[in-house]
Chain A
Amino acid sequence: MSGVRHLYVHLPFCANRCGYCDFVTVVGRQAQHRGYVDALLAELALEGRVLADRLQTVFLGGGTPTFTAPEELARLLARLPDADELTVEANPETVTPELARLLVEGGVNRVSLGAQSFQPHLLEVLERRAQPDDVRRAVYLLRDAGLDNISLDLVYGIPGQSPAELGADLADALTLEPQHLSYYELEAKPGTRFTRAHGHELERQAEAMEGYFEAVVDTLTAAGYRWYETANFCVTPGRARGRDLRAHHNLAYWQGRDYLGLGIGAVSTVAGVRRRNLAGLAAYVAALSRGAAPRREVEVLDEQTRAFERLMLGLRLDDPLPVHDVESCLDSAALERLAAGGLLELSRNGAGDELRLTRRGRFLGGAVTAELVEFAV
Chain B
Amino acid sequence: MELERIRNFAIIAHIDHGKSTFADRILELTGAVSEREMREQMLDSMELERERGITIKAQAVRVRWRDHFLNLIDTPGHVDFSYEVSRSLQACEGALLLVDASQGIEAQTLANAYLALDNDLEIVPVANKIDLPQADPEAAAAELAQLVGESPERVLRISAKTGTGVTDVLDAIIERIPPPSGDLAAPARALVFDSSYDQYRGVVAFVRVVDGRFETREPLRAMVQGTAFEAEELGVMSPAREPVASLGAGEVGYVVTGLKDVSRLRVGDTLTSRRRPAVEPLPGYKDVKPMVFAGIFPTDSDEYPELRDALERLKLNDGSLSYEPETSQALGFGFRCGFLGLLHMEIVRERLEREFDLDLLITAPTVAYRATRRGGDVIEVHNPAEMPVELDLVEEPYVKASVIVPKDFVGPVMELANERRGIFDHLEYLSEERVLLSYALPLGEIVYDFYDQLKSRTRGYASFDYDLSGFQPGDLTRVDILVGGEQVDALSLIVHRDAAYDRGRQLVERLRKEIPRQMFDVPVQAAIGSRVIARETIKARRKDVLAKCYGGDISRKRKLLEKQKKGKKRMKQVGGVEVPQEAFLAVLNLDTERKR
Question: A residues within 8 Å of B by Cβ?
Answer: 8, 23, 61, 182, 184-187, 209-211, 213-214, 230-231, 247, 250, 253-254, 259, 261, 266-269, 274, 276, 299, 305, 308-309, 312-313, 316, 337-338, 341, 343, 362-371, 373, 375
Instruction: Judge whether B552 and A364 touch: CB under 8 Å.
Output: no
Instruction: Judge whether B544 and A367 touch: CB under 8 Å.
Output: yes
Number of chain B residues close to chain A: CB under 8 A: 25
**When A209-B543, A337-B576, A341-B520 are in contact, do A187 and B548 touch as well, CB less than 8 Å?**
yes
Instruction: Judge whether A250 and B550 touch: CB under 8 Å.
Output: yes
Instruction: Judge whether B548 and A369 touch: CB under 8 Å.
Output: no
Instruction: Give every chain B residue within 8 A of A187 (Cβ-Cβ).
Output: 547-548
6 A–B contacts from the bound complex (CB under 8 Å):
A230-B546, A253-B554, A261-B552, A341-B520, A364-B544, A367-B541
Instruction: Judge whether A363 and B576 touch: CB under 8 Å.
Output: no
Instruction: Give every chain A residue within 8 A of B520 (Cβ-Cβ).
Output: 341
Query: Is B565 an interface residue, CB under 8 A from the partner?
Result: yes
Instruction: Judge whether A268 and B552 touch: CB under 8 Å.
Output: yes
Closest A residue to B565 using CB positions: A370
How long is the Cα–Cα vector from A120 to B97 in the complex, in angstroms?
82
How long is the Cα–Cα vector from A269 to B551 in the complex, in angstroms?
11
Instruction: Give every chain A residue within 8 A of B552 (Cβ-Cβ).
Output: 8, 253, 259, 261, 266-269
How long is the Cα–Cα vector from A185 to B562 in the complex, in angstroms?
21
How long is the Cα–Cα vector from A296 to B99 in the complex, in angstroms?
77
How long is the Cα–Cα vector from A210 to B540 in the complex, in angstroms?
11
Report which of A214, A231, A274, A366 forms a contact with B542, defined as CB distance below 8 A. A214
Instruction: Give every chain A residue within 8 A of B543 (Cβ-Cβ).
Output: 209-210, 213-214, 363-364
Closest A residue to B544 using CB positions: A367
Instruction: Judge whether A274 and B555 touch: CB under 8 Å.
Output: yes
Instruction: Give every chain B residue within 8 A of A308 (Cβ-Cβ).
Output: 558, 561
Instruction: Judge whether B542 and A363 touch: CB under 8 Å.
Output: yes
Of A184, A253, A367, most B-chain CB atoms within 10 Å = A367
Query: Is B378 an interface residue, CB under 8 A from the partner?
Result: no
Closest B residue to A373 using CB positions: B565
Instruction: Give every chain B residue within 8 A of A366 (Cβ-Cβ).
Output: 544-546, 561, 564
Q: Would you give the shortest CB distance from A212 to chain B, in whole angstroms?
A: 9
Report which of A269, A313, A364 forms a contact with B545, defined as CB distance below 8 A. A364
Question: B residues within 8 Å of A by Cβ?
Answer: 519-520, 541-555, 557-558, 561-562, 564-565, 568, 576
Instruction: Give every chain B residue within 8 A of A368 (Cβ-Cβ).
Output: 519
Q: Would you give the shortest CB distance from B275 to chain A, in whole angstroms?
A: 64
How long is the Cα–Cα vector from A253 to B554 in the complex, in angstroms?
8
Q: Would you give the shortest CB distance from B17 to chain A, in whole angstroms?
A: 51
Q: Would you give the shortest CB distance from A375 to chain B, in whole angstroms?
A: 7
How long is the Cα–Cα vector from A241 to B453 in the complex, in angstroms?
77
Instruction: Judge whether A230 and B545 touch: CB under 8 Å.
Output: yes
How long is the Cα–Cα vector from A230 to B545 in the complex, in angstroms?
8
Instruction: Give every chain A residue within 8 A of B554 (Cβ-Cβ).
Output: 253, 267, 269, 274, 309, 312-313
Q: Would you give the shortest CB distance from B170 to chain A, in whole angstroms?
A: 68
Instruction: Give every chain B residue within 8 A of A184 (Cβ-Cβ).
Output: 547-548
Closest B residue to A213 using CB positions: B543
How long is the Cα–Cα vector from A373 to B549 in the complex, in angstroms?
18
Instruction: Give every chain B residue within 8 A of A254 (Cβ-Cβ).
Output: 549
Instruction: Judge whether B555 and A364 touch: CB under 8 Å.
Output: no
**When A363-B543, A364-B519, A364-B544 are in contact, do A369 and B551 touch as well, CB less than 8 Å?**
no
Q: Would you give the shortest CB distance from A150 to chain B, in whole angstroms?
A: 17
- Nearest first, the 7 A-B pairs at minimum CB distance are A267-B552, A210-B542, A367-B544, A210-B543, A370-B564, A185-B547, A366-B544
Instruction: Give every chain B residue within 8 A of A373 (Cβ-Cβ).
Output: 561, 565
19 further interface pairs, Cβ-Cβ under 8 Å (given A253-B549, A269-B552, A308-B561): A61-B551, A213-B545, A214-B542, A214-B543, A230-B545, A231-B545, A231-B547, A253-B551, A253-B554, A254-B549, A267-B555, A309-B554, A312-B557, A312-B561, A363-B542, A363-B545, A367-B544, A369-B561, A370-B568
Closest A residue to B551 using CB positions: A61
Q: Would you give the shortest CB distance from B459 to chain A, in whole angstroms?
A: 39
